[in-house]
Amino acid sequence: MNVPELLQLSSSYWNTCTLHAGVKLDIFSHLADKPMTTANLAEIIVADERGLEMLLHGLTALDLLQKEGDSFKCTEFSASYLAKSSESYMGHIIMHHHYLVEGWSHLDEAVLRGGPVRKSSSHGTGEKERESFLMGMFNLASLIAPRIAAQIDLKGRHRLLDLAGGPGTYAIHFCKVNPDLKAVVYDLPTTRPFAEQTVQRFGLSERIAFSAGDILSDDLGTGFDVVWISHLLHSESPANSSAIVDKAVKALNPGGLLLIQEFILHDDKAAPLFPTLFSLNMLIGTQSGQAYSQQEITTIMAGAGLADIRRLQLDLANGAGVMVGTAAN
C-alpha cells in the first residue's frame, strides 16, 4: 500500500454515505422513469435545492445517475437495483448497512471494552431497522440461494428445517429446485410476517410453514432430513454455537444432512479480508459473536456427532462457504 491508497482507504466512507443518503431519500425511485431537475425533485421530497443538487452531483460522479442539461435520471444499473419499483431492488440491504455505520464509528470503544456498542440488528431498535435487516438478508440471499440450491443434492430428502431462516429465502429456493421437498422456517415471532409474505409471493405457502421460537431455549421439532443453518453461528459464542448445532443434529432423522453456511476464516484467522472485518461487525453488535474458521466449525460439528464433515466446493463471494455433515444412522 502507498500513501495515496492509504488516504483513499481512510476517506472511502464518503462514497458509502453518499450512496446511503440517495437510498434513504429514495432518489432513485423518483428518477427511474423520467429525468427531473433539482427543483422538481426538491419539491417532491421536500429538500433544500442547494443540498440536493450537491447530492445529485455526487451520485452522478459515482455513476449512479446521469445528468442531461439541468436534469438528472437513473442509470440502467441504478434503476434496476436502487428503485423500489424494480424486482431486483437492493435498497433493504443498503439501509441495513446504513444502520450499522454509527456502531462502526465506535469500533475503538468496542475493542477496548470487548463488547457491543449497539443493539443487534436482527432485533433492532425500531420497525424500519428490523425490516431493513430481514429484507436485507433476503436481498443478499436472493443473489446466491438459487445457485446454492441448484448445486446441493437433496434428492430423496423430504423435510427441511431452515433454522433462523428469516424471510425464508433458502427454504424457498431449495423447494423450487426439489419438488418433493417441504420446509419449516424457524425464527423469532417478529419474523413471521416477513417470512409468510415472502413465501406467499413465491406461491409456496402450502409447502413452507413458519415456526416461531427461540433457537437456544425452545424445541426445534424432529423428523427433518435436512437442517440448513445460514449465517447464524457468527452471532453467537462458541458455546452457544455448539448448543445450536447439537439441537439441530437432534432434529435430524438418521442419515440426515446438516448444512452450515458462514463467512469462513482461514485457520490462522488473518484472512480472507471480509470474514475478518465481519468478525469486527459482530464485536460491535453482539455480546459474543465472531467469524469462525473452518477448523472451528469442523470441531463444533464433530462434537455434535456428525460424520463425513467437509466443505462443499462452491464458489461463493466474501469468503462464504458451506460445511456439511451427516447424522449417525
Q: What residues are annotated to the active site? A: 234
* Long-range CB pairs of 108-114, under 8 A, 24+ apart, other chains included: 110/280, 110/283, 110/284, 111/283, 114/283
Q: Collect all residues with Cβ–Cβ distance below 8 Å to 221 and sequence separation of at least 6.
A: 161, 184, 186, 211, 251
- Residues paired with 228 in a beta bridge: 162, 259
Contact between residue 52 and residue 41 where contact means Cβ atoms under 8 Å apart: yes
Residues in the chain: 329
Question: Measured between alpha carbons, how far is 66 from 75 in angstroms, rounded to an integer?
Answer: 6
Sign of CA dihedral 240, 244, 249, 250: positive
DSSP per-residue letters across 4-42: HHHHHHHTTHHHHHHHHHHHHTTHHHHHSSS-EEHHHHH
Q: Which residues contact 200 (CB under 8 A, 6 or more apart)?
A: none
Cβ–Cβ < 8 Å for 172, 199: yes
Would you say 184 and 208 are in contact if contact means Cβ atoms under 8 Å apart?
Answer: yes
